[in-house]
Amino acid sequence: MALVAGSACLTPEQRCLEHQEIKGAPPGRERGQCLRYAEPVTCFEDRRRPMNFCMDRYEWPNRRGEKPRVLTSWEEARGLCASTGKRLCTEAEFNFACEGEEMRPYVYGHARDATQCNFDRPYRPRTFVFSPWDACQQDDACRTAFDAIDQRLPAGSMASCRSDHGVYDLIGNVNEWVVRPDERSPHRSGIKGGWWGPVRARCRPTVTFHDEGDYGYEVGFRCCADAV
């Protein structure tokens, strides 16, 4: 795991200078992307808080060179993290690990660049109702349908998609489940970071409409732990 420590801004002033529509996005998801943010990002000092925790360097199973697990619900992800003595990361922990103290909207900087992380790949429509990961991998039809739309890369493949603290693929590759501590079940789940498709794919946005039992072909996770 990587130690993530420093002064985090709860609500940075990230000002977009140039927008574009999401080309090739799935129906209903044609939301605007920000191509470039103003530099530097500012933060009122009373909005800063110290943070100190540990985070997996790679998406589960946290092994460099292995493609991350998807088709996994928030509930299952939480259980898998607990089985290793860890926990799901919180929304605020993900934000800080991704943005760093400089509050960069993208883990690598302030301008959108699909050569830095695995995102903005052409959308491939889903035409199959997938089973959860383990069941899907054991079913020929499910596995074949998944392989036809899958555009994951092995963890750590893009050296530039690395945070200040040495954590990889926090944006792009696969969405990641996080915990929203102020919410009640079944709404404690959030999705962060974006995936390989043409979506927002930056540090701060959180998708909140997926409940804890939901799973998707592009949704994975990584684990965190309290710093000792």
Q: Which residues contact 184 (CB under 8 A, 6 or more apart)?
A: none
Give the residue ranges of DSSP H helices in the chain. 74-83, 91-99, 133-137, 140-149
Alpha-carbon dihedral sign for residues 9, 163, 64, 118: positive
What percentage of the chain reaches a pLDDT higher than 70? 95
Given a cut of 90, whether residue 81 has pLDDT beyond it is yes
Residue 36 has pLDDT above 80, yes or no: yes
Give the tens place of pLDDT for each residue, 110-138: 999 999 999 999 989 999 999 999 999 99
Average pLDDT over residues 188-198: 96
> In the sheet where 48-55 sits, what is the strand order?
2-9, 48-55, 223-226, 87-88
| Nearest Cα residue to 29 out of 175, 162, 158, 213 | 175
The least confident of 31-45, 80-94, 140-154, 202-216 is 31-45
Higher model confidence: residue 19 or residue 40? Answer: 40
Residue 33 has what pLDDT?
Answer: 82
2-226 fold: paralog of FGE (formylglycine-generating enzyme) (3.90.1580)
pLDDT digits (tens, 9 = 90+) for 12-29: 999 999 887 766 665 555
Instruction: Write out the two tokens for 21.
Output: 């529509």
